Structure 1
Amino acid sequence: MTGQPVPVIIDCDTGVDDALALLFAVRHPGLDLRAVTCVAGNTDVDGVVRNTLTVLERAGAPAVPVARGAGRPLIEPARRAPVHGADGMGDLGLPAPARGPADVDAVTLLRREILACPRPVTLIPTAPLTNIALLLRTHPEVTRNIERIVFMGGAVTTGNATPVAEFNVWHDPEAAAVLLTAGVPITMYGLDVFRRVVVPGAEVRRLRASDEPGTRLAGELLACRPARQGGEPGAEDAGGLGDAGAVCAVADPAGLTTRLLPVEVCLAPGPARGQTVVDLRPGPGEAEFHDDGSERALVNVALDVDVDRYVRLYLETVER
């Protein structure tokens, strides 16, 4: 990346892999982290705020403003992902942060920071999209200063929350549907690439042995995200980058292969709710000929990723 740093705002539900993303964003010289907003997801929203502030302190960026956002989806009741432990951070026993969040809510902070930035902002949601939907519906004028939105969510093939739905979209499908029609360029960093970027066990062990707090934290967090690639040397210690891959894609877009495709979110009750329906067909089908009235956005869908490139980029960055 050359030229001025890209101004970015991360909306997260910190979370082990959101924490990995924050560490990377703080330390990459090509990114200017302007703010972080928090939403319920991996744990309750107050826990997300606490985790976010702790990670920023460990990363050496305590002054980045952090705001509390939505405590539940637009329609559904609150749900959390127990895979990240009771505290959402792998139960690592990290100390409480020394400071509190900003005295404004997440939507207010998002609007303020986006409109005040001298250059268009890149939004990186790595969480359920409730805050972003509220922002876009309440303050649509922000889109004039949004360069693009790179969100971690969705899947072309297999889900994780359900057989077809990825957690962030499944958690608040209506919010995801609002995002997709924001009127700005959107990249979907979904499970198809999310699962592939894995840091080898030897590198995880090396990070965990570091004397530098942020680097060591990255290793501890990666150790909480086992890759489960049985049979490969060191696989038992390998850790997936998860959400951090979406931030790598902003810092180094050339490592991601995308294709502009129609995407819509299934909002109907039932087993497909929350699915991101990605149209890979070479041409229109019968439904399009009959104009069924469904709203499908054109999204840059991530279909492939240079795994070695992003692993190398991540390690070089967090060890700065």
Structure 2
Amino acid sequence: MTGQPIPVIIDCDTGVDDALALLFAVRHPGLDVRAITCVAGNTDVDGVVRNTLTVLEQAGAPGIPVARGAERPLIEPVRVARHVHGADGMGDLGLPAPTRRPVDVDAVTLLRREILASPRPVTLVPTAPLTNIALLLRTHPEVVGNIERIVFMGGAVETGNATPVAEFNVWHDPEAAAVLLTAGVPITMYGLDVFRRVLVPAADVARLRASPEPSLRMAGALLAHRDPATSGDPTPTGGLGDAGAVCAVIDPAGLTTAPLPVEVALAPGPTRGQTIVDRRPRPGESEHHHGPRAQPLVDVALDVDADRYTHLWLTTVEGA
């Protein structure tokens, strides 16, 4: 690893895979985690704060400031995902309550402070509904000048999970996602198309679960927490999920991306929250009759070297 660490701020709704992302981020020497902000999503925002502090404590991370953010989307009611992440939002592992405490400012205030204070442009990594980020961009547009890139986990080119076409983070707060896409900074969309593919093999999960180090045992338990044989969920165990987006910050060459127009469907109905990615090679009849729509170009992840990111994650968290 050469050069200075990349300054990053993670905005999360710490459930299972956000925890795996945080563990990776605080252990990779190429990342300088300047702050972590919390938003309702996988569980309620107070649970997200608790889970985030728990992960940092288990990992023995330095005193990274953690702030409580939005407790509901801009318009919709909060809709948590405890059926996926457990009653506590993080796999119901029975981890001890953290002794750490959040800072005494809200998430938007902390985001503004840390972005403007950074001597180098910051990379924002939202792995959650985008409410905090939308509020930041609308309240403090001056921060854009010191944001290098936003790498967000959200959206899908093809199949959704919250609905047939909408991914959870975008579906949870579609208006916030629409604000993000007009941020005026480079954006990478790490969507479900790659999210689902980065898996830790069963043997590695078993090794982590047997580790004498508490944080590695926690990681193994998180990776194994939804066994398809007992949960009825066909999703494979061992999914790194959100952690792949953080891997993409440190190793962008592991992704195949294309700059494509992306917009969010905001109308009520079955398509609300869909990320509409225009992959057409040329304009169609709509543009011929009505003129082109000025949609922002987003670096959309279309393929991933899954083994590369799995290896990166494992060697980082295990210190190999």
TM-score norm. by structure 2 comes to 0.95
Q: Alignment RMSD, CA only?
A: 1.6
Q: Report the secondary structure of 1:56's partner residue.
A: helix
Cα displacement string for residues 181-232 of structure 1 (whole angstroms, at most 9, x for unaligned residues) = 000000000000000001000000001111112222111111125578xxxx
Residues 316, 163 of structure 1: CA spacing in aligned structure 2 closer, same or farther, 3 A cutoff? same
* Aligned-pair CA distance for 1:291: 3.5
Residues 242, 236 of structure 1: CA spacing in aligned structure 2 closer, same or farther, 3 A cutoff? closer
Distance 1:39 1:77 in 2: 13
Judge conservation of contact 1:266–1:275 (CA < 8 Å) in 2.
yes
Distance 2:226 2:20 in 1: 11
Matches within 5 A, 1:158-307: 158-226=159-227, 238-291=237-290, 294-307=293-306
Distance 1:147 1:33 in 2: 14
Q: Give the structure 1 partner of residue 27 of structure 2.
A: 27
One-letter amino acid of the counterpart of residue 117, structure 2: A
Distance 2:26 2:227 in 1: 24
Q: Report the secondary structure of 2:87's partner residue.
A: coil
Judge conservation of contact 1:260–1:300 (CA < 8 Å) in 2.
yes
* Aligned-pair CA distance for 1:236: 10
1:36 to 2:36 alignment: yes
Distance 1:159 1:227 in 2: 19
Residues 249, 276 of structure 1: CA spacing in aligned structure 2 closer, same or farther, 3 A cutoff? same
Cα displacement string for residues 35-70 of structure 1 (whole angstroms, at most 9, x for unaligned residues) = 000000000000000000000111111400000000
One-letter amino acid of the counterpart of residue 264, structure 1: E
Q: Unmatched 5+ residue regions in structure 2?
A: none
Distance 1:289 1:140 in 2: 35
Q: Give the structure 1 partner of residue 14 of structure 2.
A: 14
Q: Give the structure 2 partner of residue 136 of structure 1.
A: 137
Q: Report the secondary structure of 1:308's partner residue.
A: helix
Distance 2:14 2:103 in 1: 17
Distance 2:311 2:74 in 1: 38
* Aligned-pair CA distance for 1:312: 0.4
* Aligned-pair CA distance for 1:2: 2.4
* Aligned-pair CA distance for 1:127: 0.2
Cα displacement string for residues 111-130 of structure 1 (whole angstroms, at most 9, x for unaligned residues) = 00000000000000000000
Judge conservation of contact 2:129–2:172 (CA < 8 Å) in 1.
yes
1:126 to 2:127 alignment: yes
* Aligned-pair CA distance for 1:238: 4.0
Residues 88, 292 of structure 1: CA spacing in aligned structure 2 closer, same or farther, 3 A cutoff? farther
Q: Report the secondary structure of 1:240's partner residue.
A: coil
Judge conservation of contact 1:186–1:300 (CA < 8 Å) in 2.
yes
Q: Report the secondary structure of 1:188's partner residue.
A: strand
Distance 2:31 2:165 in 1: 33
One-letter amino acid of the counterpart of residue 307, structure 1: A
Distance 2:227 2:133 in 1: 30
TM-score norm. by structure 1 comes to 0.95
Distance 1:69 1:237 in 2: 31
Cα displacement string for residues 164-191 of structure 1 (whole angstroms, at most 9, x for unaligned residues) = 0000000000000000000000000000
Distance 1:30 1:266 in 2: 36
Judge conservation of contact 1:227–1:240 (CA < 8 Å) in 2.
no
Distance 2:179 2:272 in 1: 15
One-letter amino acid of the counterpart of residue 125, structure 1: P
Q: Report the secondary structure of 1:283's partner residue.
A: coil
One-letter amino acid of the counterpart of residue 157, structure 2: V
Cα displacement string for residues 236-294 of structure 1 (whole angstroms, at most 9, x for unaligned residues) = 98410000000000011111110000000000000000000000100111222234675
Q: Give the structure 2 partner of residue 65 of structure 1.
A: 65
Q: Give the structure 1 partner of residue 146 of structure 2.
A: 145
1:88 to 2:89 alignment: yes
Judge conservation of contact 1:202–1:237 (CA < 8 Å) in 2.
no
Matched residues, number: 314
